[in-house]
Amino acid sequence: MNPTEEFAALVSTPEGFPLDRAALLVAKHARPDLEVGRELARIDDLAEQVRQPTLDGLTRLLFDELGFRGDQRNYYDPANSYLDAVLDRRSGIPITLSIITREVGRRIGVPLAYVGMPGHFLLQDRVDRSIYVDPFHRGARLSIDACEQIFRTLHGSDAAFDPSLVAETSSIATLARLLNNLKALFSRDRDLSSLAWVLHLRTLVPGIGDYERQALSQVLAGLGQFSAAADQLDILAANNPEERSTLEASAHRLRARLN
């Protein structure tokens, strides 16, 4: 299977999927020479280096001894969303550092939950739910009050905070957020080629598909790939009977541009 097919098969697995592998398959679309198996072995190696299989032992290795940290200087560099690059540079953004921390923890029996707080991704200790971990700030321990303080710093002192904002986030939602970060970056840079593969992957994530098809069609048309753009509208039309005639007409116009 090619990386896109492998990604599609992985995210549709009913019993869930390893997020490290999914994130590496995302990165492989930008970095074709990436070897997913080799990168997974690097995460295995990190787990083997943890001398004490506890949360303290995990964070001591990653943040104190190996120096994993948040990339404050080049936060919006797309490489910060590629797990292999984060492993290479030992710096990244909250979500990729959280994936690495959680996946190393999983290997050594330290259960951590993803927490998709708006604006700043975190982890939560599944043994003591009162403890949150901030991988972007070198594994700092946080209380829910400290999480609220970060939230208000990001969104304003009057922003409404609710404990549901720091509830556990699923792997599928975490993956969708990782892709959404890349979507925002490539949209900003008007990098249509990269935006096309990101949107394509988002259409494969359960619960997102149709939401992104129109945008993907527009990007493909912008790249001159009119047949592929029309194909996306055909799928959208089949799934949305109330808009079928409009979507089919748009697909017809796109195919007419091939002549």
Whole-prediction pTM: 0.95
Tell me the C-alpha distance between 72 and 184, whole Å.
Answer: 18
End-to-end CA distance of the chain: 33
Residues of the chain with pLDDT under 50: none
Note the pLDDT of residue 14: 75
What's the pLDDT at 75?
96
- Tell me what pLDDT residue 13 has: 87
Per the listing, tokens 């609710």 go with 162
Q: What confidence score (pLDDT) does residue 2 get?
A: 95
pLDDT at 42: 98
Instruction: Give the domains, in start order, of the chain with CATH numbers.
Output: 3-169 (no CATH), 171-256 (1.25.40)
- The Cα 140–Cα 61 span in angstroms is 13
Q: Which residues pair with 132 in a beta bridge?
A: 124, 142
139 with 101: CB under 8 angstroms? Answer: yes
Contact 86, 95 (CB under 8 A): no
State residue 126's pLDDT score.
97
Whether the CB-CB separation of 98 and 114 falls below 8 Å is answered with yes
Query: What per-residue confidence (pLDDT) applies to 211?
Result: 82
Residues with Cβ < 8 Å from 120, sequence gap 6 or more? Answer: 94, 134, 136, 150, 151, 154
3-state SS record for 116-138? CCCCCCEEEECCCCCCEEEHHHC
pLDDT in tens, 171-218: 999 999 999 999 999 999 999 999 999 999 999 998 887 889 999 999
Q: Kind and range of the H or E element at 168?
A: strand 168-169
Per-residue pLDDT reduced to its tens digit, 3-26: 999 999 999 987 789 999 999 999
